C-alpha cells in the first residue's frame, strides 16, 4: 500500500510528505493536476491541485489565484483549506516566496461531482435548476462584492454534492481582481479553453469588460440546466481575442 502510494506520488511528482494518503487522480486542467487524497490529520478526503511553477508567467498566475482564493469564504464557493509548498511545507504569508518554489499545492474541499457531469444525464428538473441557479447567483454576488471577476464560469467549474444539492463555484485559475479605474486587458488564456460561456463583448472587445461577463456565463448555464444543451456553441477563431 505504502509502495503504491509512493509510486503514484512519484509518477505525478506529487511531493506532499506522509500527511496525505490514498491519492486518486481527478483530472488535469488548464493550469494544474488535481488529485483527491485523505488528509490523515482530520481523516477527511480533500482535493489537491498541484500548480507547477515553470516560468515567471506561471508564478504570476499562481500568485493571483492564491491571493484571491485565500480571501474568499462563502457557502457557495469551494473552500480552500491550505496552500502548501514542496513536501507539504507551510507557505508563509509572504506569497512572494513562491518565486523560489517549483510547485505549489492548493488543498481544497472535495466535491462529489460537477455540473458538466450532472448535465451529461440530461436536463435538470426545474426545481433543481432553480436551486442551483440560486446558489450560483449567491456565490457570484459574494465574489463580485469582493471586486473579483471569476472569468471562467462553466458547468465544469461548478461543483455539486448530489446528496444535499449544494452547488459551489470553484477553479479560480482565471479570476482577477477588478479595478474600476482600469481598463482590463484580454489576457485570458486561450488554446483549449472553452469560449461557449464568454459574452460577445468579451470575445470581440477583450480590453473592456465588467462583472457582466460572469452574469452572461451564468445565463448560458441556466439555459443549459433547463434544456440539457449548450446554449451557444461558439466556433470561431478570432486572433484578436487571444
Ligand atoms: P479547466 O482548466 O478548463 O477548468 P478542468 O476543469 O478539467 O479544466 P480543473 O478545474 O483544474 O480543470 O480540474 C481538474 C479536474 O479535477 C476536473 O475533473 C474537476 O472536476 C476536478 N476537481 C477540481 N477541483 C475539485 C474539487 N474540489 N473536488 C472534486 N473534484 C475537483
Ligand atoms: Mg476547471
Dump pLDDT digits (tens) for 214-234.
Answer: 999 999 999 999 999 999 887
Q: Which of 39, 106, 168, 171 to mutate to test the pocket of ligand 1 (most atoms within 8 A of CB)?
A: 171
Please give the mean pLDDT across all residues of the chain: 85
From 125, 152, 159, select the one nearest 64 (Cα to Cα).
152
Give the pLDDT confidence of 87-146 residue by residue, as tens digits.
888 876 665 666 678 889 999 999 999 999 999 999 999 999 999 999 999 999 999 999
Q: How confident is the model at residue 242 (pLDDT cuts 50, 70, 90)?
A: very low
Residue 29 CA: which ligand 1 atom is closest?
A: 12
Q: How far is the CA of 216 from the centre of ligand 1 (A)?
A: 22
The pLDDT > 90 percentage for the chain reads: 53
Q: Where are the beta strands (DSSP E) in 61-156?
A: 80-84, 103-109, 113-114, 148-149
CB 155 near ligand 1, within 6 Å: no
Q: Report the nearest atom of ligand 1 relative to the CA of 114.
A: 20
Catalogue the active-site residues.
152
pLDDT score for 239: 46
Cα–Cα distances in angstroms (integers) from residue 223 to residues 98, 168, 228, in the given order: 40, 18, 8
Known binding residues: 50
Q: Which domains does the chain have, with CATH numbers?
A: 9-109 (3.30.200.20), 113-240 (1.10.510.10)
Atom index in ligand 1 nearest the CA of residue 78 equals: 27
SS3 212: helix
pTM value is 0.86
Amino acid at each position: 500500500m505504502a509502495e503504491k502510494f509512493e509510486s503514484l506520488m512519484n509518477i505525478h511528482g506529487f511531493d506532499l510528505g506522509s500527511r496525505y494518503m490514498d491519492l486518486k487522480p481527478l483530472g488535469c486542467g488548464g493550469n494544474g493536476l488535481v488529485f483527491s487524497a485523505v488528509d490523515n490529520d482530520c481523516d477527511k478526503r480533500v482535493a489537491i491541485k498541484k500548480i507547477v511553477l515553470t516560468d515567471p508567467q506561471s508564478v504570476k498566475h499562481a500568485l493571483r489565484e492564491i491571493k484571491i482564493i485565500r480571501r474568499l469564504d462563502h457557502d457557495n464557493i469551494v473552500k480552500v483549506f491550505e496552500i502548501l509548498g514542496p513536501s507539504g511545507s507551510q507557505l508563509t504569508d509572504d506569497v512572494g516566496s513562491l518565486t523560489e518554489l517549483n510547485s505549489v499545492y492548493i488543498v481544497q474541499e472535495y466535491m462529489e461531482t460537477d455540473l458538466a457531469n450532472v448535465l451529461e444525464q440530461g436536463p435538470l428538473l426545474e426545481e433543481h435548476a432553480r436551486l442551483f441557479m440560486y446558489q450560483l447567483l449567491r456565490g457570484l454576488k459574494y465574489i463580485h462584492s469582493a471586486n473579483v471577476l471569476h472569468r471562467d464560469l462553466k458547468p465544469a467549474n461548478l461543483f455539486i454534492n448530489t446528496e444535499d444539492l449544494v452547488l459551489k463555484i470553484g477553479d479560480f485559475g482565471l479570476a482577477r481582481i477588478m479595478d474600476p479605474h482600469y481598463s482590463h486587458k484580454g489576457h485570458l488564456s486561450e488554446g483549449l479553453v472553452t469560449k461557449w460561456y464568454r459574452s460577445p463583448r468579451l470575445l470581440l472587445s477583450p480590453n473592456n469588460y465588467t462583472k457582466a461577463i460572469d452574469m452572461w456565463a451564468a445565463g448560458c448555464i441556466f439555459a443549459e440546466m433547463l434544456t440539457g444543451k449548450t446554449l451557444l456553441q461558439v466556433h470561431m477563431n478570432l486572433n484578436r481575442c487571444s
